[in-house]
Amino acid sequence: MNMYLHELKVYRKSTIIWTCSIIALIVLMMSLFTSFSKDAELVQEMMHNFPEAMQKALGLSTLDMTSLLGYYGYLFTFILICGAIQAMNLGVGILSAEVREKTADFLLVKPVTRKKIITSKLLAALTCVVITNVLYLVAVIIRISAFKSYEYSMKLLIMISLSLFFIQLIFFSLGFIISVVVRKIKSVLPVSLGIVFGMYILNALGSAIGDEKIRYISPFRYFDVTYILENEAYEVPFMIISIVFVIIAIVASYILYSKKDINAF
Amino acid sequence: MSIIEINNLTKYYGKARGIIDVSFNVEEGEIFGFIGPNGAGKSTTIRTLLSLIYPTSGNAKIFGKDCIEYGPEIRQDIGYLPSEVFYYDNMKVIDLLKYSASFYKKDSSKRINELAEIMDLDLTKKIDDLSFGNKKKVGIVQGLLHEPKLIILDEPTSGLDPLMQQKFFDLILEENKKGATVLFSSHILGEVQKLCNRVAIIKEGRIIKVEDIKTLQESNYKKFKVEATTGLDKGYFDIAGVNNLETKNNIISFIFSGDINLIVEKLSEIKIANLWVEEPSLEEIFMHYYKKED
C-alpha cells in the first residue's frame, strides 16, 4: 500500500496534465462540428478528391463525417494517439525509473518481494489510466450532448470512447515489458513517442494499401470505429488478441523482473 | 552463530568476471571489514547478499537463511548504505525517511529524529537541494532507522567530512555495542583498521585472505621514499621487513613493516635531500601479499 500511494503521488501531476490536455483537445475539436457540418457536403466532396490511398490512410473513406459520431470517430484517432503516448510513458517509465533515477538501491533492499513492487506499480498505473478514462468519458458525454439538434446513440458513443481504455492498456503493457527487457532506459519519451508514432504510421500504411494483416501488428485499428458504428460491437478476434497480449506481457514482466540483475550504476 | 555465511559464491556478468569462489563467514556481533581496490568485487558480493543480483553459482546465507529465497524476510533486519546515494529528488527528507520506515514493522519515528540530530540533518529540506554530503547523511539515517541486526556498508565514508566520518563511526560502534553485526566494505585500509575486528581482502574477484585486524595492525606498513644527495646503493636499505625495494633517479622507495626505529637509524647515518613517509596504498600491500605467497 505504501508503494502504491507513493507511485500515485509521483504520477499525480502528469496524469492531471494528460487528462486535461486530452479533454481540451476533444472539446475544442468537437466545437468545430457545427460549422463543419454546415459545409459538410463541400468538405466531403473535397476530401473525396484526395487520392484514394490517402483517404484510406487518414481513415476518411469509410466514415460519414456529417454525422456526429462519424465526425467524433474521425477525431478519436488523435485522442487515441495522445492516450497511447500517455500509457506508453507510464508503462516504460514506472518501473525503469528506479534504475534511471538510481533509486533501485533504495527500494529493492527493502523487505518486499519484487512481485509486490510490480503489483504496486501496476495498480498505481492502472489507477491513473482509469482516472483519465472516467474523466474523459464524462467530458465527452457532456460535450456531445450539448449538440441538441443531432441524433446519436449513447451506446455507440460509450463504446467508441471506451476503446481508449483498451488501447491504453495495450500500450501500457507493451511499454512495461519493454522496460523490463531492456537493461536501462535512459529517457522515456523518445521510446514511447517512437513506438506510438511508428505504430500509427504502420496502421496508416496498412489502411492505405489495404493490407489486413498489418491490422494485427498495430493496435490502432483493433477497435475500428467504422466497424463499431456498423455492428454495434467490437471485433472479437482483436478483442481476444488484446486480452491475450496484455496478459502475456504482464505475466512475462513479473517473471523476467523477478530474475533481473539490478546492477550498480 | 554466523550472521553471514558465504559459500563458493561466483558471479559472472556475461563473460566478465564479478567474483569467483568467494567464501567467508561473518560472526554475530563483529565488525567485519571487506577490503579491496575498486573493481575487485566488493559491491558484487554485497549486491548478491541483498539479492539485487543473482549468483552464477554458490550461495550465501544471512541469519541462517538463504539470501535469495528468503530475501524479503531477511531484509527486514538489514540496513544498507550504498556508496552513492540517490533518492526521489522531489521528496522532502522527512517524507523519504517516513516512506523508508513504512516498509518495516517497527515504529521508527523516534529513531529518525534521534539519528537526524546526531548527524545534524535538516529534515524539512527537499532532497534535490541537498549537497552530496547531506544526501549521504540521509542515506545513513535511512539505513539505520529500523535498528537493523545486520548493517551493510558499501564504501560509506566518501563525501563525508572528517568530523561527520567520526560521528558516523561512533554511531556504527554504538549500534555494534547494542548487538548489530556490521559488514564494512572499503578501499581505505586505515578506516577498516580503525573499526573492524576481522577483515577479508579481495582482489580481482577472489578472496586473498581473511585476517584478524590485530595481525594487520602489528604489521604496520609504511611507504618510504628517500632521495639521496649522493649516489646510494639500494642495497643499503635491504634489511628484514623491507619490501618492493626500487631505485629511480636517485630516489629509493620501499615498503617497510616492523620496528620503525630501525629505518630511522639507517636514515640518520646518511645525507638525504628529501624524505617521504606515506601510508602505502592497498595495491602496494597486496603486492606484498602476493610476494609472500610465491
Q: Which residue has the cell 489495404?
A: A210
d(CA A1, CA B289): 52
- Contact list in A for residue B84 (CB cut-off 8 A) is 102, 265
- Contact list in A for residue B143 (CB cut-off 8 A) is none
- B271 pLDDT higher than 70: yes
Instruction: For the beta carbon of residue B65, count every other beta carbon within 10 angstroms.
Output: 13
Q: Do A106 and B87 touch (CB under 8 A)?
A: yes
Chain B residues with CB-CB distance to A under 8 A?
A: 13, 43, 47, 50, 52-54, 71-76, 78, 80, 82, 84-90, 99-100, 102-104, 142
Give all domains of chain B, ordered by start, each with its CATH number: 2-217 (3.40.50.300), 220-293 (3.30.70)
d(CA B148, CA B114): 15
Q: Please give the residue of chain A at the shortest CA–CA distance from B88.
A: A103
Is the Cα torsion angle B58, B62, B67, B69 positive or negative in sign?
positive
Q: 3-class DSSP state for residue B211?
A: strand
Cell numbers for A209, please give them: 494499401
Closest partner CB to A108 (pick from B52, B86, B87): B52
Q: Which of A14-28, A204-218, A219-233 has the highest mean pLDDT?
A: A14-28
Backbone angles phi, psi at B14, to 5 degrees: 65, -115
Q: Which residue has the cell 507510464?
A: A90
d(CA A231, CA B40): 67
Q: Do B86 and A263 touch (CB under 8 A)?
A: no
Q: Do A113 and B90 touch (CB under 8 A)?
A: no
- Contact list in B for residue A10 (CB cut-off 8 A) is 88, 90
Q: Which of A118, A222, A119, A110 is nearest to A164 (CA)?
A: A222
Q: Which residue has the cell 510513458?
A: A89
For A62-115, the pLDDT digits (tens) are: 777 778 898 899 899 999 999 999 999 999 999 988 888 888 889 999 999 999
- B280 pLDDT higher than 60: yes
* pLDDT confidence band for B217 (50 / 70 / 90): low
| Burial of residue A87, with CB atoms counted within 10 A of its CB: 0-12 exposed, 13-18 middle, 19 or more buried | buried
Where helices occur in chain B by DSSP H, the ranges are: 42-49, 71-75, 93-101, 109-119, 132-144, 162-177, 189-195, 213-218, 260-268, 282-293
- Contact list in A for residue B100 (CB cut-off 8 A) is 106, 110
Which ipTM did the prediction report?
A: 0.85
d(CA B154, CA B83): 5
- B291 pLDDT higher than 60: no
B179: left (phi over 0), alpha (psi -120 to 50) or beta: left
| Burial of residue B276, with CB atoms counted within 10 A of its CB: 0-12 exposed, 13-18 middle, 19 or more buried | exposed
User: Which of A105, A116, A183 to probe the B interface (max B CBs under 10 A)?
Assistant: A105
Nearest-CA distance B91 → chain A (Å): 10
Q: Please give the residue of chain A at the shortest CA–CA distance from B53.
A: A261
A139 touches chain B (CB under 8 A): no
User: Which of B47, B70, B85 to probe the A interface (max A CBs under 10 A)?
Assistant: B47
d(CA B254, CA B236): 12
For B103-156, the pLDDT digits (tens) are: 999 888 899 999 999 888 999 999 999 988 889 999 999 999 999 999 999 988
Residue B219 confidence (pLDDT):
65
Nearest-CA distance A170 → chain B (Å): 28
More confident residue, A57 or B205: B205
Residues in contact with A262: Cβ distance below 8 Å, sequence separation at least 6, in sequence order: A99, A104, A105, A108, B47, B52, B53
Question: Looking at residues A42-55, what average pLDDT do you find?
Answer: 77
Q: Please give the residue of chain B at the shortest CA–CA distance from A6.
A: B99
- B294 pLDDT higher than 50: no
Q: Do B90 and A10 touch (CB under 8 A)?
A: yes
- B185 pLDDT higher than 60: yes
d(CA B210, CA B215): 11
Q: Do B104 and A111 touch (CB under 8 A)?
A: yes
Instruction: For the beta carbon of residue A265, count every other beta carbon within 10 angstroms.
Output: 12
